[in-house]
Amino acid sequence: MAQQINLLTPILLAPKRYFSALTLVQATGLLLVAGLAAALWLQQRDRSAEAQHQALLAQYTTERQQLAVAQAGLPAPLDAATVQQQLLPLTAGNADLRALLKVLGVDTAGQHHSDLLALLATTLPESAWLTELRYTPGRVELVGGTLDTAVLRPWLARLASHPLLAGQELSALRVERLGAPGTQAGGDPLLSRGSPLMASGLPVWAFRVVSAPAQAASAAPGVAR
DSSP the chain: ---------GGGSPPP-SS-HHHHHHHHHHHHHHHHHHHHHHHHHHHHHHHHHHHHHHHHHHHHHHHHHHHHHSPPPPPHHHHHHHHHHHHHHHHHHHHHHHHHT-SSTT-SHHHHHHHHHHHS-TTEEEEEEEEETTEEEEEEEES-GGGHHHHHHHHHTSGGGTTEEEEEEEEEETTSTT---TT-GGGSTT-HHHHTT---EEEEEEEEEHHHHHH-GGG--
Of 114, 140, 144, 110, nearest to 129 by C-alpha is 144
Max intra-chain CA distance, the chain: 154
Region of 103 on the Ramachandran plot (φ > 0 left; ψ -120 to 50 alpha; else beta): alpha
Q: Residues 212, 172: contact at Cβ < 8 Å?
A: yes
Each residue's pLDDT tens digit, 48-67: 999 999 999 999 999 999 99
Amino acid at 167: G
The rounded distance, in Å, linking the Cα atoms of 105 and 111 is 7
Q: Would the pTM count as exceeding 0.85?
A: no
**Between 108 and 25, residue with greater pLDDT:** 25
**pLDDT tens readout for residues 8-60:** 566 656 666 666 777 888 888 899 999 999 999 999 999 999 999 999 999 99
Q: Answer yes or no: is pLDDT of 119 > 90.
A: no
